[in-house]
Amino acid sequence: MEKDKKYNLEGVTLKKFFQEELETMETAKIKAVQEEKFLKQFKFVYGNNAYYRKLCDKKGVGLDDVKCMADIAKLPFLTKADLREAYPDGLLCKPLADCVRIQSTSGTTGKRVVAYYTQHDVDLWEECCARAIVAAGGTKEDVVQVAYGYGLFTGGAGLHGGSHKLGSLTLPMSSGNTERQIQFMQDLGSTILCCTPSYAAYIGEKLHEMGFTPDDIKLKAGIFGAEPWTEEMRQNIQNSLGIKAYDIYGLTEISGPGVAFECEEQTGMHINEDHFYAETIDPETGEVLPEGSEGELVFTSLDKEAFPLLRYRTRDLTVLTREKCSCGRTFVKMKKPKGRSDDMLIIRGVNVFPSQIETVLLKQGYTPNYQIIVDRIGNEDTFDINVELSEEQFRKIGDDVDIANKNLTAAFVQMLGIRPRVHLLAPKSVVRSEGKAVRVIDKRKLHD
C-alpha cells in the first residue's frame, strides 16, 4: 500500500493480535470460558445487588436454577428503564470505595445512565480497545489521534486507554477545532485517527478545503464508531483521508467502545466474547434467535466488578455470524448495526432507517451531509430530506436541478417505498458533526 512507503515499518514487528491466546481460542474453548465466567458472574451479581435479586425473584429464578450457560435464558432482561429506576448506583455490585471511575451516556432525554468502574473494569475495557487498535494495524510505533469527545462520554477515555495499553503515542485531542486537528495530524505525524465516522467525514472534507490531499498526512487507519454508518460512508472516508476505515462498537452500559471491533477483513466486528456474552432476540417477543438472523443485541458481561449487567437489551439491531474469519480471530462477529430499534422511523406506516437514506445518497454521488425532517400535518406524515450539494455539484448542476431532484427522489422511492420531498441545498448548509451526528428531526414527537 502507498501509505506503507511513507510510514516506516522497518524494524517494527507488526503484532497481529493484542492478546493472541485469547482472541484465537477455539470455539469450544470460548464456550467453556464463557460458561465458567457466567456462573461466577451470576452468583456475584445475585449475591451483591438487591435490585437484581428482586428482578430474579419476580421471575422466580434463584441461585439453584442457574447451573449452565443455557440457563441464561431463564434470567430476566435488563432494560434502560431499569437503569433509570436504579439511578444512579442501584445496580452497583461493589462498594463505592472500590470504584475508580464514572462515565456516562450522552442521552438527551430522561436521566443519563451512569456506569461505575473498578480498576479491574478499566483495565478490561482498555484491553478491549487495545485489541481494536492492533486489529486496525496499530503498533507501539503509532501516533494515535483521539478525536472522540473526552469527559463523561466513553469514546475519548476508551481509545485513549487502549492506546496507552498498547504503548502507542497518544494524542488526546478530543473533538472539535477541526483545522487544529489537521495541523496537529501533520505536525505530529498521526497515523491512526479515532473519532465518530461523521466527524471523520468532516475532517476529510476540511483537509481538502485547506488545499491538502491524503499525501500531505501520515494517517493510515481510522477507528470509527459510536453511531451507525454505512459501507458507502466507509468508502467516502477511506477516499478522502486515504486510509483504511475500521468500525468499532460499544455502549456505556457494557463498558464503552471496544465491546466489538473490526479486523482487516472489514466484514463485521468481532465481539470480545471472553468478556461479553452476546445474544440476539426478537424485539417484540424477547425470544432468542439463532445466529444468522437479525435481532436486538443483548449483552451479558462475564467478568466485570462494579457495574456488571446481565442480559442488557441494547435496542441495537444486528446479525451474529460465526463464519471463519481470515484474520484468525475466532470471536463471533456482529454485522454493522442498522441502528437502534428506536432509531427506526415509521413514516406513513413504512419503516425507514436513516442508514437507508445515507446509502442512496452516497451511491448517487451526493455528500454525506443530510438531514431528515419528519412532521405531521393533520393526519398525514410529512417527510423531507435536505441534501447538501458539493461545491462541484453546485457549480455544475445549474438548470438541471429539477432533473437531479427527480432522479434522487426516484432512488429514494425505490429504496424506501415512500416518496420524500427532496431539497438540494447549497454547500455548507447542513451543520457538521464533531461527535454523534443528528440526522433526524422528528417534529411529530413535539405534538404528541
The residues of the shown chain that bind ligand DLL, judged by CB under 6 A, are 105-106, 148, 154-155, 225-228, 247-252, 256-257, 314, 316, 337, 340
Q: How far apart are CA 352 and CA 374, in angstroms?
A: 11
Q: How far apart are CA 406 and CA 43, in angstroms?
A: 61
State in angstroms the smallest separation of the CB of 78 from ligand DLL. Answer: 14
State in angstroms the smallest separation of the CB of 251 from ligand DLL. Answer: 4
Q: Where are the beta strands (DSSP E) in 378-425?
A: 380-388, 421-425
Q: How far apart are CA 198 and CA 240, in angstroms?
A: 13
- Asked whether the beta carbons of 144 and 170 are under 8 A apart, the reply is yes
Q: For 396, phi and psi rounded to 5 degrees? A: -80, -30
154 vs 190 by CB, closer to ligand DLL: 154
DSSP tally for the chain: helices H, then strands E: 14, 20
Q: For 116, phi and psi rounded to 5 degrees? A: -105, 150
Q: Where are the beta strands (DSSP E) in 240-286?
A: 244-251, 256-262, 269-271, 276-281
46 vs 435 by CB, closer to ligand DLL: 435
Q: For 13, phi and psi rounded to 5 degrees? A: -85, 115
Q: How far apart are CA 408 and CA 284, in angstroms?
A: 34
State in angstroms the smallest separation of the CB of 269 from ligand DLL. Answer: 7
148 vs 331 by CB, closer to ligand DLL: 148
Q: Which residue is nearest to ligand DLL (CB)?
A: 225
Q: How far apart are CA 95 and CA 92, in angstroms?
A: 8
Q: In terms of DSSP bridges, do strands 269-271 and 333-334 run parallel, antiparallel, or are they unpaired?
A: antiparallel
94 vs 436 by CB, closer to ligand DLL: 436
DSSP 31-88: HHHHHHHHHHHHHHHHHH-HHHHHHHHHHT--GGG--SGGGGGGSPPB-HHHHHHTTT
State in angstroms the smallest separation of the CB of 436 from ligand DLL. Answer: 7
192 vs 226 by CB, closer to ligand DLL: 226
137 vs 256 by CB, closer to ligand DLL: 256
State in angstroms the smallest separation of the CB of 179 from ligand DLL. Answer: 23
Residue in this structure with the C-alpha cell 464533531, named with its chain if needed: 434
Q: How far apart are CA 129 and CA 166, in angstroms?
A: 9
Number of other CB atoms surrounding residue 409 within 10 Å: 15
DSSP structural state of residue 136: T
106 vs 429 by CB, closer to ligand DLL: 106
76 vs 339 by CB, closer to ligand DLL: 339
Q: How far apart are CA 433 and CA 445, in angstroms?
A: 23
* Cell (9 digits) for 339: 441502528
State in angstroms the smallest separation of the CB of 339 from ligand DLL. Answer: 7
State in angstroms the smallest separation of the CB of 435 from ligand DLL. Answer: 9
76 vs 354 by CB, closer to ligand DLL: 354
Q: Where are the beta strands (DSSP E) in 160-255?
A: 169-172, 192-195, 221-225, 244-251
66 vs 86 by CB, closer to ligand DLL: 86
State in angstroms the smallest separation of the CB of 357 from ligand DLL. Answer: 15
State in angstroms the smallest separation of the CB of 176 from ligand DLL. Answer: 16
Q: In terms of DSSP bridges, do strands 169-172 and 143-146 run parallel, antiparallel, or are they unpaired?
A: parallel
195 vs 327 by CB, closer to ligand DLL: 195
State in angstroms the smallest separation of the CB of 306 from ligand DLL. Answer: 16
C-alpha distance from residue 264 to each of 222, 233, 319, 328 (Å): 12, 17, 19, 10
State in angstroms the smallest separation of the CB of 315 from ligand DLL. Answer: 7
247 vs 358 by CB, closer to ligand DLL: 247
